[in-house]
Chains A and B, each alone.
Chain A
Amino acid sequence: MSLLEVDGLTVRTSDGRTLLDGVTWDVAAGARLGIIGESGSGKSMTALAVLGLLPAGMRATGHVRLDGTDLLALPPRRMDAVRGAQVAMVFQEPLTALDPLMTVGRQISGPVRLHQRLSRTAAREEAARLLRLVQIDDTERVLGSYPWQLSGGQRQRVSLAMALACRPRVLLADEPTTALDVTVQAEVLELLDDVVERTGLALVLVTHDLPVVARVAQDLVVMRDGAVVERTTVPRALAGDGAAYTRELVDAARAVTALPTPEAR
């Protein structure tokens, strides 16, 4: 049974341009879905539309069902309660996604207290636990730091800890490794993998980077120009079965990086 079902999701601007056209996919609890496409293909917009956080002047139609409840039909207040607690998101650039004037401790314990009635100290302890979950060891120092005092990799771990703060069932990760150096990328991907393993949440990984998807995801949605080209699996895509556009993406990625062959997985 799928946990999150995106069904015919369409986004239009107020002047009538169609940005997303009938996007349909679903993801089950504990599963990892990759959404891949070039920039401008609408993959990030899909994630924002699922969360109901489209920029002003854009309207989403269709259905986004979480356990059967249509999120697009929810009144704003009920949707606020879904965000963070049911569906959370990790953004591409952790430096701007975190508030520069707020310590990490307050940034993580805030959402913890928002959804769970916890005391200040209990929320702080929960924040420390979350930091350990994302493999940050010197929790006390990091909790007292401002985001700009941390390294890029640490910042993205902190973002992930924030997103996990309210124990969401679905985690949308929008290019979570694009702003990081290659070695740190690998660590963060491993961490995402580990978090899914441990928490059993459904991961939706949005990226332009095929090797990144290949490392983490099983199911694959290929997007182009605001529409889904095909729904497939990572092994099938790597084996060259399926749509011509998917093969193009795979070949292009093979030309610059060593992609695992289907047998090696």
Chain B
Amino acid sequence: MARHLLTRSLLTRVASLLVSLALAAVVVFVVLRLLPGDAAGASLGVGTTSDQLEGLRAELGTDQPVPVQLGQWVAGLVQGDLGTSFVSRQPVADLVAARLPVTLPLSLAAFVLAVLVSVPLGVAAAVWRRGPLGVVVSALSQLGVAVPVFWVGVLLVLVLALQLGWLPPGGFPRQGWGDPAAAVRALVLPVVTVAIAMSAVMVRYVRSATLDVLDQDYVRTARSLGYGRWAALRRHGLRNGAAPVVAILGIELATSLLGAVVIENVFALPGLGTLLLDSVEARDLPVVQALVLGLTAVVLVVNVGVDLAQRALDPRLRLTGGAR
């Protein structure tokens, strides 16, 4: 019976995921058409005749009514065709694939680093909440949350790259991962920047989840049975604290991708973020809408993953079909 409920809830989640994605596709498409300016105007520049404009629009298909364009785009998506760039005339999928080797390692490494930093720090800050460590961690996290991520990046570049010269201030090797050492060096500062911003948020959630567990009666029960402070926390905290933390990790995994998009522009990295900004500027709508829809899809999929992880962690969700 438990298995049956699990399968059914998984199917429900996947169905609602598809509905959300379809809605997101329509919204993204329509909103982008409402923006002023178009690709034809942007690429031809000032002083072109309306004939030239009309010609290019016909070529790009932007002269068609919006519902027709939407239908063509969705039909392509269903077949796995993300569309063709207005500007470079290359398939959007190829443009994205070329940028993933920068953005994907950047955001994943930042996420992993942030988890490795914030989980132990958050737990320690909770256990020693009145001690110096607890106070320092809380203060640093406040600071980290208040400061914008690009400012942290600029600061790191100033000190570590420009003054100390330890790392490159920006850019990515021309050969990409063909020169692994240079590629890694190019990503260190961006990764640290995004990880700092994420850790500042995550450490607070880990701390409060740990405090919550520490206050629970069952931790006191464990202490009354002879478990030491840390042993009691390990015995009961891992699972009980994991459920709320997993939810945050999911949000932060999605955030790490968005953080990467922002920070790529600070470090002049040829990733999805720079692709997105360039495409917006050129009104290269197929690229923009594919990227926005892709980011939306990642967020939605991560949410489903979080939900499943929480079910795996908490038998109350698993065995009672969600109702307590």
Contact = CB atoms under 8 A, between A and B. Distances in A.
Interface in B310-324: 313-316, 319
Nearest to B218: A99
A93 interface: yes
A21 to B, nearest CB: 24
A102 B227 contact: no
A144 to B, nearest CB: 11
A77 B228 contact: yes
Contact of A101 (B217, B226, B228, B239): B239
Contacts of B228: 76-77, 80
Given A96-B216, A110-B235, A166 B221 contact: no
Nearest to A86: B226
Contacts of A165: 225
B57 interface: no
Interface in B8-25: none
B145 to A, nearest CB: 26
A85 B227 CA distance: 11
B238 to A, nearest CB: 9
Contact of A96 (B218, B223, B227, B239): B218
Interface residues of A, number: 34
A98 B224 CA distance: 12
B50 to A, nearest CB: 68
A111 B226 contact: yes
B225 A53 contact: no
Contacts of A149: 319
How big is chain B's contact interface, by range? Answer: 20 to 34
B240 interface: yes
Interface in A147-192: 148-149, 159, 162-163, 165-166
A253 B221 CA distance: 31
Contacts of A262: none
A149 B226 CA distance: 26
Nearest to A76: B228
A114 B217 contact: no
A91 B225 contact: no
A39 to B, nearest CB: 17
A40 interface: no
A259 B227 CA distance: 40
Nearest to B236: A99
A50 to B, nearest CB: 11
Contact of A56 (B130, B217, B235, B315): B130
Contacts of A88: 224-225
Interface string A105-123: 0000011001100000000
B240 A85 contact: no
B223 A83 contact: yes
B220 interface: yes
Interface in B282-324: 313-316, 319
A166 B130 CA distance: 33
Most chain B beta-carbon contacts within 10 A, residue among A85, A89, A97, A101: A101
Given A56-B130, A96-B218, A89 B224 contact: yes
A53 B224 contact: yes
B226 A91 contact: no
A34 B212 CA distance: 33
Contacts of B314: 101
Contacts of A56: 130
Contacts of B217: 91, 93, 96-97
A231 to B, nearest CB: 25
B130 A83 contact: no
A80 B316 contact: no
B220 A114 contact: no
A101 B313 CA distance: 8
A147 B130 CA distance: 33
A47 B224 CA distance: 11
B86 to A, nearest CB: 53
Contacts of A115: 226
Contacts of A82: 226
Given A96-B218, A146-B316, 19 more contacts: A76-B228, A82-B226, A83-B223, A85-B226, A89-B224, A91-B224, A93-B217, A98-B221, A99-B222, A100-B218, A100-B240, A101-B315, A110-B225, A114-B225, A114-B226, A146-B315, A165-B225, A166-B225, A166-B226
Interface of A: 51, 53, 56, 76-77, 80-85, 88-89, 91, 93, 96-102, 110-111, 114-115, 146, 148-149, 159, 162-163, 165-166
18 contacts: A51-B224, A77-B228, A82-B226, A83-B226, A85-B226, A89-B224, A91-B221, A96-B216, A96-B218, A97-B217, A97-B220, A102-B239, A110-B235, A146-B315, A162-B221, A163-B224, A165-B225, A166-B226
Q: What 10 pairs across the A-B complex have the smallest Cβ distances?
A: A84-B226, A84-B225, A96-B217, A111-B225, A99-B218, A89-B224, A83-B226, A101-B239, A97-B221, A97-B217
